[in-house]
Structure formats: C-alpha cells, structure tokens
Amino acid sequence: MIEKTEPVENDPVPKRQKSLTWVLLAGLATIGTYAAVLIPAFNGNDIRPGVGMPVLLWSAIFLTLLWRYRSKNGWVGFALGLILGIFVIFVAGFVGGYIKGQAGASSTNVNNRYL
C-alpha cells in the first residue's frame, strides 16, 4: 500500500549553491584573448583578422556568467560583453596603428636629417 504524504509547508527546496569555477575559467580565457590582441598591438603590429571573434565570444561569455552569478539578467551581461569586446578590439587597433606610425615617423626623421 502507498501512503499519501502531505507536503511540508516550511520545507523549501534547497537551492543549488552557485559555483564561481566557471566564472573564473571564462575570466582566464578572456584575459588570454585580450593578451593575444593587446600584446602585439603594443609592439606596433596589426590586429590579425581571426582574433576578433574570440575576443567578442569570451567577453560575452565571461560577463554573461558573471551577471548570472550575481543574480542579474544574463542577456545584459552578454550585451555588455560584446560592447567590451568591440572596445578592446578598437583600442588594440588604435594603439597598434599609433605605435607603428610613431616608429615609422621617427625612423624617417632620423634618416632625412642628414640628407
């Protein structure tokens, strides 16, 4: 025989504890992709064409997980991650072009000085 039991009213279902592991792993991947873009830019190199998509992807994933960890809307974090990724790519292109231009300008000035 199966007995019917009454649900206990003051016994909430235990909520799953949030884990910071995936947020940290996505943060490490984001830092790695930023380094892959910014280190060559600070050396005066151009941005490689294939590096833009991983920057956008990992920025969006990281901020999505971070926002969800903080009990916020994940889509807002995703949108902010895309905006941050676009900003990082823009800054890397600007810095790389600026340093490349400065290196080119200083070498032409030195060579033309003695002509």
Q: Which residue matches tokens 């206990």?
A: 8
Residue count (the chain): 115
Pick 2 or 17 by higher pLDDT.
17
CA atoms of 77 and 74, how far apart (whole Å) = 5
Q: Amino acid identity of 58? A: W
Note the pLDDT tens digit of each residue in 23-64. 999 999 999 999 999 999 999 888 888 888 999 999 999 999
CA atoms of 38 and 92, how far apart (whole Å) = 5
Output the pTM of the full model. Answer: 0.74
Q: Are 26 and 61 in contact (CB under 8 A)?
A: yes
Identify which of 30, 9, 35 has the alpha carbon closest to the alpha carbon of residue 77. Answer: 30
Residue 7 Ramachandran class (φ > 0 left, ψ -120 to 50 alpha, else beta):
beta
| Distance from the first to the final alpha carbon of the chain | 106
Q: Are 91 and 61 in contact (CB under 8 A)?
A: no
Note the pLDDT tens digit of each residue in 69-94. 999 999 999 999 999 999 999 999 99
